[in-house]
């Protein structure tokens, strides 16, 4: 049985014993282990069934660790860290030799993030090593935004989920990497491109062909329900093409009504995109547990965090 608890002492004991603990962050729950324990890190890959070529994010709690763990910090990285840490930002930087190659999948760079969630900050202060944590879902599946979903995925295999309640942002961190001093947006996330650009000016995005080798988490099919999912601008036409089916609909707001065969999930009754991001994964989990024939997701306004939500829905619906 996996323990769900707020006991930080217990969580830090387990981490010190090279065990894994699921941690809450403001984005999604992570599956965490000591970056210096080969045993713990192997276990992360094994438990998630994650390929070894996909590197992990290292979580820290103090600015000094940025200098300790990377060999060069571009000026723009400093500006971004000052603006968004602690928070929903991950920086990919040239790595210090201390970082084990297993964490970075033999890449010369390391992904660093300082989460804001109070429980994980307190936890990190109690241990004297950074923790590596991918999202706490089996590879390719929907990320968890509460302790129960983590337990559902790993019950029995995982000793503990540190319960920090519902994640307040709800989608993964925004990842920024560098080519020399030039910043590149690797993954859209809780912080919008516009917010990043307000701090460092225009930022390039990865082209489609660059995405896979640089950020394997950007794999086309990802964040996926088991139920077949279609992303569309036009829900009615997909409904018309699928008579007599049990269907779930994900949308920002809806003027349709739920019925016996149609389950409607509104991401935000007040059309608030931040609220929609917070609710997205839980809504996907809920619909996926209803054994429906089909999930239809309606594209959100492609602005601000709506872009990151559409990105997740696109991957969830990829073949």
Contacts with ligand TXA, residue ranges (CB under 6 A): 25, 27-28, 30, 54-57, 90, 92, 104, 107, 109-111, 113, 133-135, 172-173, 175, 177, 186, 214-218
Report the nearest approach of ligand TXA to the CB of residue 108 (Å): 8
The pair of three-digit structure tokens given for residue 299, joined into one six-digit string: 């594209």
Residue 27 interacts with Mg ion (CB under 5 A): yes or no: no
Report the nearest approach of Mg ion to the CB of residue 206 (Å): 17
Q: Which is nearer to ligand TXA, 218 or 264 (CB)?
A: 218
Measured from each CB, the residue nearest to Mg ion is 135
Would you call 255 exposed, middle or buried from its count of C-beta atoms within 10 A (0-12, 13-18, 19+)? exposed
Q: In this structure, are residues 147 and 163 in contact, taking their beta carbons and an 8 Å threshold?
A: yes
Measured from each CB, the residue nearest to ligand TXA is 217
Would you call 73 exposed, middle or buried from its count of C-beta atoms within 10 A (0-12, 13-18, 19+)? middle
Q: Which is nearer to ligand TXA, 164 or 248 (CB)?
A: 164
Report the site for Mg ion in 118-137 (rule: CB under 5 A). 135
Q: Which is nearer to ligand TXA, 35 or 294 (CB)?
A: 35
Residue 294's binding partner out of Mg ion, ligand TXA, none, with CB under 5 to 8 Å set by partner kind: none
Total number of residues that touch Mg ion (CB under 5 A) = 1
Q: Which is nearer to Mg ion, 70 or 135 (CB)?
A: 135
Strand partners, 296: 230, 249
Q: Which is nearer to ligand TXA, 108 or 228 (CB)?
A: 108
Residue 317 interacts with Mg ion (CB under 5 A): yes or no: no
**Interface with Mg ion by CB under 5 A: which residues?**
135
């Amino acid at each position: 049985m996996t323990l769900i608890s707020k006991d930080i002492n217990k969580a830090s004991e387990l981490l010190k014993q090279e065990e894994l603990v699921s941690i809450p962050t403001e984005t999604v729950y992570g599956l965490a282990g000591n970056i210096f324990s080969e045993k713990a890190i192997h276990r992360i890959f094994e438990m998630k069934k994650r390929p070894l070529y996909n590197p992990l994010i290292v979580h820290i709690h103090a600015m000094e660790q940025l200098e300790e763990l990377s060999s060069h910090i571009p000026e723009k990285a400093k500006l971004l860290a000052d603006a968004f840490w602690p928070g929903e930002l991950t920086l990919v930087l040239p790595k210090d030799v201390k970082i084990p190659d297993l964490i970075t999948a033999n890449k010369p760079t390391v992904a660093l993030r300082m989460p804001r969630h109070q429980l994980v900050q307190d936890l990190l202060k109690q241990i004297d090593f950074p923790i590596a944590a991918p999202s706490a879902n089996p590879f390719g599946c929907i990320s968890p935004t509460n302790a129960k979903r983590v337990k559902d995925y790993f019950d029995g295999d995982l000793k503990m989920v540190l319960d920090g309640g519902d994640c307040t942002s709800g989608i993964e961190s925004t990842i920024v990497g560098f080519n020399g001093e030039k910043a590149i947006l690797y993954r859209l996330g809780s912080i919008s491109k516009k917010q990043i650009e307000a701090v460092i000016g225009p930022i390039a995005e990865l082209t489609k062909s660059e995405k896979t080798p640089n950020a394997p988490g950007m794999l086309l099919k990802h964040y996926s329900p088991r139920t077949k999912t279609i992303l569309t601008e036009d829900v009615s036409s997909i409904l018309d093409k699928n008579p007599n089916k049990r269907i779930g609909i994900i949308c920002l707001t809806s003027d349709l009504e739920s019925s016996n065969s149609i389950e409607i999930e509104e991401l935000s009754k007040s059309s608030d995109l931040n609220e929609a991001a917070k609710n997205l994964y839980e809504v996907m989990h809920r619909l996926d547990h209803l054994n429906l024939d089909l999930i239809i997701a309606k594209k959100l306004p492609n602005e601000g965090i709506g872009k990151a939500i559409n990105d997740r829905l696109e991957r969830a619906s990829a073949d």
